[in-house]
Amino acid sequence: MDNRPLYLGVAATFADLVARVPADRLSGPGLGEWSLRDLIGHTVSAALRPIAPAEAERPAAESPEGYAAIIRTAPPEMIAAGQASVDRNARDFGRALGARPETVVREHLDRAAAALDAVGDDHLVVTPIGAMRLGDWLPTRTLELVVHGSDVAQAAGVDVTFDAGAVAESAALAARMAAAIGAGLPLLRALTGREPLPAGFTTVL
């Protein structure tokens, strides 16, 4: 499957969503301790940064779900440092959105799209866990956009409709991530109506 159209389509939907967020909601609740501005900033930081080629001989993870598995098995101090960095980036990128977040988000999208044109799917690119093939890394960014785009829509009180194919692929990836971290069966039982998910269940950190 060509992941680029899915990613770019979802990114465009996210940019349109941000353009419809009421300005008076930006300082209000977003997700957890983040304001809505922080949440948008995190989404930009995590999913719309331009792809950067990696100087490595082999990938750190061989699949999108392998990315989640590596993060989950990292030492606690590395996980804590990573989460602190995510928080900083969310607030830094959120502040950088300024008074016209939609304009800044579209600028990020344009730069990300241009960077994609220069990298092939088999090329290694920089990720938080090390090098990954672009074709394996991009689906994780599409997942970020779909999930956090829905978070933004809910916090802002506006509707959003993502491409059905992108939602299906993101849901399938989340399921593979769950299996990769040993939580596939609880997810499957929840999806088939057997029992609810455990409190705090998530496939990502």
Domain boundaries, the chain: 3-191
- Residue 205: the pLDDT is 66
Please say whether the beta carbons of 152 and 21 come within 8 A. yes
| 57-140-199-159 Cα dihedral, nearest 10 degrees | 170
Domain 3-191 is found in CATH 3.40.50.1580: no
Local confidence band at 23 (pLDDT 50, 70, 90 cut-offs): very high
Kindly tell me the sign of the dihedral angle through the C-alpha atoms of 67, 73, 75, 76: positive
81: helix, strand or coil: helix
Local confidence band at 1 (pLDDT 50, 70, 90 cut-offs): low
Average pLDDT, stretch 77-94? 93
